[in-house]
Structure 1
Amino acid sequence: MKDIAQTVGVSLATVSRVLNYDRTLSVSESTRKQIFEVAERLNYSKFKRRPVPVTKELKIAIVQWYSKTKELDDLYYMSIRLGLEKRCEERHFLATRTFHSDLSSIDADVDAIIAIGKFSAQQVTAMAQLTPNLVFVDQDQLAEGYDSVVTDFDIAVKQVIDGFWAAGQRRIGLLYGTEWTTDEKLAVIDPRYLAFKHEMEDHGAFDPALVFSGDYTNQSGYEAMMTAIKQFGSDLPAAFFVTNDPMAAGALKALHEQGIAVPQRVSVMSFNDTTIAKFVFPELSSVHVDTELLGSAAVDLVADRYNNGRTTPQRMTIGTKIVKRDSTK
C-alpha cells in the first residue's frame, strides 16, 4: 500500500479506504481509478512467453463491456484489460480501447477486435461487420466460429467445495451475481452458480435456500449476506462461497457488523483474487484467476492468425489455483 500511495501521490489512509470501497471518502474518480490501476500493475508478474514477430503492426480494438466507472467496481475486467494492453505493447501492436461496447469509435481499418466480457448475438454480429478477426475473453464464442479465452470454472468450483467438504463443512451457502449484456438482450448466468449447483447436487447437499443473488458489487454482497444472517440467525451456514471479490468484501463487512467471527464461525471463499482480496479484513481466501494471462493469450491468438494463416477457431481454457488466506479455516 505504501508503494501505491507513493506512486499516486496520496496518503496511505486514502489508499486503504479506496481499496476497501469506502464510499464515504471524498476522492475524485480520477484518483480512485489511478489507485486501482496502480494496485493491479504492482500485483502483476511478467508474462514470460516469448513473442513471435508479426510482419505488420496490427491495429487492435479492445472492446470492454463495462463502463469506465463500473470497471472500478469489479477489478477483474480491468485486470484483463491491463494485461491485454501490456501484451500489445510487448508485441508493438497499436491498441485502442472503447468502453461499454461503444463500437462507433473503432476505426474502419482495424485488424482485429478483442472483446472483454459478455455480448449478445446482435453485438457479436455488429463487431463481425468491422472485422472477421474477433477474440472473446471471458465468453465462449467457439460455437459461433470465434477465438475465445475462458476460465475453467468447473474445476475451480469443485476444488472450493472439496476444500470445504474436507474441513467438515457440508452446509455451504452461495452468493453469486446476475447481470445483462449492455444492450439488455442477453441475461448472463453466472457459470460458478451452475458449477456450484451441479457439484453440490453430486454431494446430495444442494439447498436453494442457501443461495443468494447480487449484481457483483460490494453493496450487493453486503445486502445478500445481511439477508442470510437475518434469515438463518444462529443457524447461519459455517461456510460461504462468493463468486467475486467485491461481493465477498461486502459479505465480510456484514458479518463484521453483526459480530460474526470470520473464520471462527463462518469461512468465506471468494473468486478472482483481484488486488482487494489482500486489502480487506480478514484477508480473503480466493480462487486466483490469472487475468494477465487471459489478456495476453487473446493478443497471442490474434498474432497466431496473422503469422500462421489459421482460420479454425480456437478456445483457450485457463486454469486457476486456490489461494488460502485468513477468511477460511
Structure 2
Amino acid sequence: MATIKDIAEKAGVSISTVSRVLNFDESLKVTAKTKRRILEIAEEFDYVTVRDRKSRSGQKIGILNWYDSEKELGDPYYLYIRLAAEKRCHDLGVEVVRIDFDCDEDTARKLDGILAIGKYGRSDIDNLMKLNEEIVFTDFSADNRCDSVVIDFKESMDLALGYLYGRGHRRIGYIGGREFFPDRDEVSDLRFKFYKEFMLMNDIYHESDCYFADFSLKGGYRLMKEALEKPDRPTAFFLGNDSMALGAYKAISEAGLDIPNDISIIGFNDLPGSKYMVPSLTTIRVYQDYLGQAAVDLLLESIGSNREFRKKVVIPVKLMERDSVSDNI
C-alpha cells in the first residue's frame, strides 16, 4: 500500500505538503500545478489516508444526482462522479442510499448526510436542508450554508483559450449547452462566462460564433452542422464537453473537412474515450474521480467535526494536449 512518503518522493515535495494537500488544508500556499501533481500521483497510487482507513461502519449517506439514468448515459460526466463517490464510500465502509427529491423525511433523518451531485436552485437547496443540514454539493457551489467541491472554471477556460490563442487562433467559436435547475431556472454556465470574458479582453468576441443546445453528442453534432453552414466560420471551436466534441467530429467529417487542418477542436472533461478519438482530442481534464472522492471525504469530515463554518474545495484541472489543434498561420 502506498504511503505519503511514496507520493512525496515522486512529486518532489515534502511529506507535510502532501499531507496538507490531501487533507484540503486551505491555508497551504502551493501552486495549482503542484497540487494537481500531488492529486494525480495519489490517484495513480490509489492512496487512502490513514484516518480514512479507519472503519466508518454504521454511517449512512444519501447520494442525490440531478441527472437521471438516461441523462447519465448521454453525458457520462456526472455518472463518473457518482461512481467515484460510491466507490469511496464502499472503501470506507459507509453505506450509500440513492435518493431523489421525493425522499421522505423518515428516510432523510436516518442519513448522516447528503451528497448532492449537479446543479441546484435556491428553492432546491432550501428543501434539501429541511431534510438534512449535512450536505456537500459536488460540481456546484451553492451558498455559505453548505460545503462544496468544485473545479476552477476560470483556470479551465484560460488554459483552453490561451492554448488556442497561442497557436494563432483569433476566431474561436463556442459550442456549449444550456442547463436548468430542477426548479426550471436556468443555470449560469461558468464556461461561457469565462469564455466571453477572455474573448472580450482580447477584443476577439463575436456573438455570432456562439451556439447553444444541450450537453450531448447530438447537441454537438447539430450545432457544428449549423456553424459549418456559414462561409465565414471560426478556425477553432471550444466544445462544452467531450460528448459534444464527439458529435462535432461527426459533423466535420460529413462535411468533408479535416481536424485539425481545417478546423481545430478543444473539448472539456477528458472522458476516458477522448484520447482514442481520431484525431485524439485535446481537452481540459477534470478529475471526476477526485471530485467524487473529495466530496465524500468532505462530508464525512463535516459530520465528524460539527464545525460551524463551511468549506469550498477547489480541484485543479489540466490541459491534455493531443492532436485536434493545429497552428493557424
TM-score by length of 1: 0.81
Query: Percent same amino acid among aligned pairs?
Result: 32
Q: How does 1:131-280 map to 2 (within 5 A)?
A: 131-143=132-144, 145-184=145-184, 186-231=185-230, 233=231, 235-280=232-277
Distance in 1, matches of 2:279 and 2:58, equals 46
Cα distance, 1:170 vs structure 2: 1.0
Question: Could you tell me whether the CA contact under 8 Å between 1:73 and 1:217 is conserved in 2?
Answer: yes
Contact map agreement 2:55 2:93 (CA 8 A) in 1: no
Distance 1:242 1:136, change over 3 A: same
- 1:9-29 deviation digits (Å, cap 9, x = unpaired): xxxxxxxxxxxxxxxxxxxxx
Two-structure CA RMSD over aligned residues (Å): 1.8
- Check if 1:88 corresponds to 2:89: yes
Matches within 5 A, 1:97-116: 97-98=98-99, 101-104=101-104, 106-116=107-117
SS at structure 2 position matched to 1:168: coil
DSSP-derived class of the 1:118 partner:
coil
Whether contact under 8 Å (2:125, 2:142) holds in the other structure is no
Q: Per-residue CA shift, 1:287-308, capped at 9, x if unaligned? A: 0000111111111111212333
Which residue matches 1:35? none
Q: Which runs of 5+ in 1 are unaligned?
A: 1-43
How far apart are residue 66 of structure 1 and its match?
0.4
2:290 partner SS: helix
Query: Partner residue of 1:69?
Result: 70
Instruction: Judge conservation of contact 1:47–1:293 (CA < 8 Å) in 2.
Output: no
CA distance in 2, matches of 1:89, 1:107: 20
Residue matched to 1:19: none
Deviations 1:263-313 (A, max 9, x none): 111110000011231343222111000011111111111121233332211
Q: Distance in 2 between matches of 1:166 and 1:124?
A: 41
> Corresponding residue for 2:298?
301
CA–CA separation in structure 1 for the residues paired with 2:152 and 2:47: 22
Shift of residue 55, structure 1, vs aligned partner: 6.3
Question: Would the aligned equivalents of 2:134 and 2:303 in 1 still touch at CA under 8 Å?
Answer: no
Output one character per residue of 1:213-251: Cα deviation in whole Å (capped at 9) or x when no partner. 1110111111111111102x2x32111000101111111
SS of 1:198 mapped into structure 2: helix
